[in-house]
Chain A
Amino acid sequence: MILHKTLWRKSWLESRTRFIGAAALLLLVIGWDILDSEHGMRQFDRIPPIAFTQYVAYLYGSHFQLVWIASVVMLGLGGLVREDRLGTAQFTLTLPFRRRQWILVRTALGLIQASVLALIPVLVIPLAARFVGHSYPAWEALKFSALLWAAGIVFLFGAAFWSSLLSGEFSATAVSGVSALLAFTAQDYLYRWIPSFRFPYFNMSAFLAGYDFLNRTTGLLEGWPWPGIVKSLCAAGMLFWASITIIERRDF
């Protein structure tokens, strides 16, 4: 029944604006950063100047992370609790589908949409690079995109989790944003403020940029952060399980 086209159609219709908006945002930011790379690379003021691949690696480790997280958070918003606020949840939930099916399809579509968004840099960076006289291997962009996707699903499922708890459009967005910020910064503060804090350190920003496997001379990735990928998948899985549990127990 998860393959029923009605479930997918509804999920697509309700998420398409956010998806297209996120795609446009990514396209704009990446496209601009690459087309403006001469100016961007000059900002580093290095002799010899940094290589284009180093510049791209820098982009993956800087504001591009913020744009990516904002994009996947947008994909995770919405769902049955929002529908409850809008007054359509009764109509949806009296159709002959289980709540779990609605969530599964919405999540699966979110993952597909996140995958498509993650492919935007793979297409745009090598293509735009040619316009400014550089080249960038698509395979390298694909590796970075895999990291974006792996980290992104935590924020996607995080937004879905908050959307299953909070009915307000802005409250779910705001709390998802704050959670994302905490995911990037909380551990640093915990280590600083609580000397006895012993939780294994996991730097989300470094994971997203592939710092542990980045050759800083070439700006290319030389391996895969598997522990980080596994941690991300586990966190996403837990958030997904929590969202389903909350929605299935909720009264509408």
Chain B
Amino acid sequence: MVIETDRLSKQYRVTFAVRDLDLAVAEGSISAFLGPNGSGKTTTIKMLLGLTHPTSGAGLVFGQPICDDAASVKIRQRTGYVGEDKRLYGYLTVGETLSFVRSVYPAWDRDREQALLRRFDLPLDQKCQKLSKGMRTKLALVLALSRGAELLILDEPSEGLDPGAAEQLLEAVVQAAADGTSVFFSTHQIAEVERVADHVFIMNRGRLVFRSPMEEIRENYRRIHFAFPGRSPTEEMNVDGVFRLRPEGHTLSLVVTGNLESITQRAQSLGAISVDVQPIGLRELFLESVEEGRS
């Protein structure tokens, strides 16, 4: 695992920003970190990078403890990060910023830097304070990708980007993953996740409420509607493989993670008069996970 956390928590006075987070991100994966605003995604990322100190629990990145000062430097040596804010030193030009960061990373890949600069069309002579948010994001991405990082942590990288720039960003991320870099990114763009991610983690109110490989979602996750002649048997249907269960009058709506056949058989034995099985998208799963937290 490239990232592992064990009951990682961050508490601000009486509020938990992150609570008992058990995260396991596989090496070489593209893992998406979803959640509503304020769900604890950014706080988690900050803890992984040593920007914020956990209140309790533990975390490892590359097997190095995130709370250890010296280990945190080693983690950052091998990690590329594009933060939520994407602010860079306004007094440096794009070219100076590249040279500044290049001097810190011995494994800097000049070829990749040049290729990305060509792709993103960044003005080398322009001061960073004059760059648009999209340009700043592109530059941050060049800095993160060119350092020879083994792990990319991106916090809402496509926020504020036009569709063309967002597409370029996704291509760069996929390319990085193809080159062997693990990617862990938070986003609100579910369509992006469906396109590029192979693992999904969903946070809500500081807790991890959902985790699954994308392949499993596509192959095994289904929504089933059962219609019953009378009151829907909610408790009797809460069996193995049921992820979410919602009674709506005479019908029962289920999100299942597998075990489809035996769930259907059980519903029929309880008197279900119709069965409707549909594939479920990540967007629905996200809403189900978050709704559950709200209720």
Chain A residues engaging chain B, CB cutoff 8 angstroms: 4-6, 9-10, 13-14, 86-91, 93-98, 100, 248-249, 251-252
| Interface pair A251/B51, CB less than 8 Å apart | yes
| Interface pair B52/A98, CB less than 8 Å apart | no
Q: Which one of A6, A9, A88, A96 has the greatest number of beta carbons of chain B within 10 Å? A: A96
Closest to B100 in A: A6
Q: Mark B251-266, 1 if CB is under 8 A from A, else 0.
A: 0000000000000000
C-alpha gap A252/B73 in the complex (Å): 16
| Interface pair A96/B76, CB less than 8 Å apart | yes
Q: Name A93's contact: one of B51, B79, B88, B140 (CB within 8 Å).
A: B51
Q: Mark B99-116, 1 if CB is under 8 A from A, else 0.
A: 011011100000000000
Q: Which residues of A contact B50 (CB under 8 A)?
A: 93
| Interface pair A94/B104, CB less than 8 Å apart | no
Evaluate whether A90 and B85 lie within 8 angstroms (CB atoms) in the complex, with A9-B100, A95-B104, A251-B46 already known.
yes
5 A-B pairs with CB atoms under 8 Å apart are A6-B103, A6-B104, A86-B87, A94-B83, A96-B76
Closest to B155 in A: A90
Q: Name B85's contact: one of A9, A87, A95 (CB within 8 Å).
A: A87
Q: Which one of A91, A93, A95, A97 has the greatest number of beta carbons of chain B within 10 Å? A: A91
Q: Mark B108-152, 1 if CB is under 8 A from A, else 0.
A: 000000000000000000000000000000001000000000000
| Interface pair A95/B76, CB less than 8 Å apart | yes
For residue B286, CB closer than 8 A to chain A, the reply is no
Closest to B12 in A: A251
Q: Name B51's contact: one of A5, A10, A252 (CB within 8 Å).
A: A252
Would you list the 8 A-B pairs with minimal beta carbon distance, nearest first? A87-B87, A96-B77, A251-B52, A90-B83, A96-B76, A94-B81, A252-B51, A87-B85
| Interface pair A91/B83, CB less than 8 Å apart | yes
C-alpha gap A90/B50 in the complex (Å): 10
Q: Which one of A4, A13, A86, A251 has the greatest number of beta carbons of chain B within 10 Å? A: A251
Closest to B143 in A: A91
What's the minimum C-beta distance from B238 to chain A, rounded to whole angstroms? Answer: 40
| Interface pair B51/A90, CB less than 8 Å apart | yes
What's the minimum C-beta distance from B134 to chain A, rounded to whole angstroms? Answer: 16
Main secondary structure of the interface of B (DSSP, over half): loop
List 7 additional contacts besides A9-B100, A93-B50; criterion CB under 8 Å. A14-B91, A88-B90, A90-B83, A90-B87, A91-B89, A98-B70, A251-B51
C-alpha gap A10/B51 in the complex (Å): 19
| Interface pair A94/B88, CB less than 8 Å apart | no
Chain B residues engaging chain A, CB cutoff 8 angstroms: 46, 49-53, 69-70, 72-74, 76-77, 79, 81, 83-85, 87-92, 100-101, 103-105, 140
C-alpha gap A91/B103 in the complex (Å): 15
| Interface pair A251/B49, CB less than 8 Å apart | no
Q: Name A10's contact: one of B70, B77, B100 (CB within 8 Å).
A: B100
C-alpha gap A95/B81 in the complex (Å): 9
| Interface pair B87/A252, CB less than 8 Å apart | no
C-alpha gap A100/B72 in the complex (Å): 13
C-alpha gap A90/B84 in the complex (Å): 9
Closest to A249 in B: B53
| Interface pair A91/B51, CB less than 8 Å apart | no
Q: Which residues of A contact B88 (CB under 8 A)?
A: 88, 91
What's the minimum C-beta distance from B133 to chain A, rounded to whole angstroms? Answer: 12
| Interface pair A252/B52, CB less than 8 Å apart | yes
C-alpha gap A86/B100 in the complex (Å): 19
Evaluate whether A13 and B46 lie within 8 angstroms (CB atoms) in the complex, with A6-B103, A96-B77, A252-B52 already known.
no
C-alpha gap A9/B105 in the complex (Å): 16
C-alpha gap A98/B140 in the complex (Å): 21
| Interface pair A94/B87, CB less than 8 Å apart | no
Closest to A250 in B: B53
Closest to B83 in A: A90
Closest to B79 in A: A94
Q: Which residues of A contact B85 (CB under 8 A)?
A: 87, 90
What's the minimum C-beta distance from B209 to chain A, rounded to whole angstroms? Answer: 24
What's the minimum C-beta distance from B34 to chain A, rounded to whole angstroms? Answer: 21
C-alpha gap A98/B76 in the complex (Å): 10
What's the minimum C-beta distance from A164 to chain B, rounded to whole angstroms? Answer: 16
Q: Which residues of A contact B91 (CB under 8 A)?
A: 13-14
Closest to B89 in A: A88
| Interface pair B104/A4, CB less than 8 Å apart | yes
C-alpha gap A86/B91 in the complex (Å): 12
What's the minimum C-beta distance from B201 to chain A, rounded to whole angstroms? Answer: 21
Closest to B84 in A: A90
C-alpha gap A100/B73 in the complex (Å): 12
Evaluate whether A98 and B100 lie within 8 angstroms (CB atoms) in the complex, with A93-B51, A251-B46, A251-B53 already known.
no
Q: Which one of A10, A14, A95 has the greatest number of beta carbons of chain B within 10 Å? A: A95
What's the minimum C-beta distance from B135 to chain A, rounded to whole angstroms? Answer: 15
What's the minimum C-beta distance from B271 to chain A, rounded to whole angstroms? Answer: 55
C-alpha gap A252/B88 in the complex (Å): 15
C-alpha gap A249/B52 in the complex (Å): 9
| Interface pair A97/B73, CB less than 8 Å apart | yes
